Chain A
Amino acid sequence: GTGRNEGKGWKRFQSYKGEAALPKEAESLRIFVDRKAQTIILPIHGFAVPFHINTIKNVSKNEEGEFTYLRVNFQTPGQLAGKKEDTPFEDPDATFIRSITYRSADGHRFDTLSKQITDLKKEVNKREQQKKEMAD
Chain B
Amino acid sequence: MTTQFDRIYHGLSPELGKMRIAASGMAWKGEDSDKMVAMSSADIKWAQWLRVARNYQLRVGLKDRSRETFDGFSREDHDKLAQLIKQHFSVTLETKEVSFKGWNWGVTDFQGQDLAFLVSNKTSFELPLSQVANSNIAGRTEVSLEFATPSGSKKSKSAPDEMAEIRFYVPGTVNRDHGSDA
Contact = CB atoms under 8 A, between A and B. Distances in A.
Given A29-B53, A30-B160, A51 B104 contact: yes
Interface in A51-100: 51-52, 55, 66-67, 69-70, 74-78, 88, 90-100
Nearest to B162: A103
B167 A97 contact: yes
Contacts, number: 167
Contacts of A7: none
Interface residues of B, number: 51
Interface stretch (A16-24, A117-125, A128-136): A16-24
Interface size class of A (residues with CB under 8 A): 35 or more
B154 A98 contact: no
Contacts of A69: 164
B165 to A, nearest CB: 4
B168 A97 contact: yes
Given A45-B125, A46-B54, A46-B71, A94 B107 contact: yes
Interface of B: 12, 51-55, 57, 69, 71, 75, 98, 100-108, 117, 123-128, 131, 141-142, 149, 153-155, 157-172, 176
Given A16-B101, A19-B98, A98-B169, 14 more contacts: A15-B100, A17-B100, A18-B100, A29-B161, A31-B161, A44-B163, A46-B71, A75-B104, A78-B171, A94-B172, A95-B108, A95-B117, A98-B168, A101-B166
